[in-house]
Chains A and B, each alone.
Chain A
Amino acid sequence: MLFQFEGVTKTYGAVTALDNLSVKVPVGAVGLLGPNGSGKTTLIRTLLGLIPVDRGSGEVLGMDFRRRQLDIRRVVGFAPEDECLFPHMVGVEFAAYAGELVGMPAKDALQRAHEVLDYVGLGEARYRKVESYSTGMKQRLKLASAIVHDPKLLILDEPTNGMDPAGRQEVLELAKDLAHNKGMSLLFSSHLLPDVEAVCNYVVVLGSGKLLAEGLIQELKRVHDQCFEVRLKDDMAPFARRLTAMGCSTEVQDDVLRVRIPAGHSPQMLWQAASDENEQIRYLRPQRSTLEEVFLTAVEHA
Chain B
Amino acid sequence: MPIFDQGYQHWSGTLSGHAWRWLAIARRGVRVGLTNRLLRVVMLVAWMPAIALAFVLCLWGLIEQKSELVAPLAQMLPFLVPDLLADPRAFRVEIWTLCFSYFMWIELYFSMVVILLVGPNLISQDLRYNALPLYFSRPLRRIDYFLGKLGVIAAFLAMVIVVPSLTAYVLGLLFSLDLSIVRDTFGLLMASIAYGLVITLSAGLLVLALSSLSRNSRYIALFWLAIWFVSSVVAATLDSANQQQQRHQAWQASHQRPGPNFGGVDYVQAEIDAAKTNWRPLVSYTGNLSRVGQEMLGTDASWEKLSQLAPPSQRAQFLFVYMGPQYPWYWSAAVLIGLFGLSACILKWSIKSLDRLK
Contacts and interface: CB of A to CB of B under 8 A. Distances in A.
B131 A120 contact: no
Nearest to B132: A84
A150 B11 contact: yes
A194 interface: no
A84 B356 contact: no
Nearest to B20: A103
Contacts, number: 129
B245 interface: no
A51 B357 CA distance: 10
B3 interface: yes
Contacts of B7: 119
B357 A87 contact: no
B15 A84 contact: no
B100 to A, nearest CB: 36
Of B10, B129, B139, chain A has the most CB atoms within 10 Å of the CB of B139
Contact of B355 (A50, A83, A86, A106): A50
B356 A51 contact: yes
Interface in B104-145: 125-126, 128-141
Interface in B229-270: none
A101 B22 CA distance: 8
A116 B10 CA distance: 10
A41 B25 CA distance: 27
Contacts of B6: 118-119
Contact of A81 (B27, B132, B358): B358
Contacts of A101: 21, 24-25, 135, 138-140
Interface string B190-201: 000000000000
A81 B125 CA distance: 19
Nearest to B18: A70
B163 interface: no
Of A41, A89, A102, A170, chain B has the most CB atoms within 10 Å of the CB of A102
Given A87-B131, A103-B16, A106-B27, 5 more contacts: A45-B357, A50-B356, A80-B133, A118-B3, A119-B7
Interface of A: 41, 44-45, 48, 50-51, 70-71, 73-74, 76, 78, 80-89, 97-98, 100-106, 108, 112, 115-116, 118-121, 131, 145, 147, 149-150, 157, 170, 173-174, 177-178, 182
Q: Sorted from nearest, which 9 A-B pairs have the closest CB atoms?
A: A103-B15, A121-B3, A84-B130, A150-B11, A100-B24, A78-B137, A73-B139, A70-B139, A103-B16
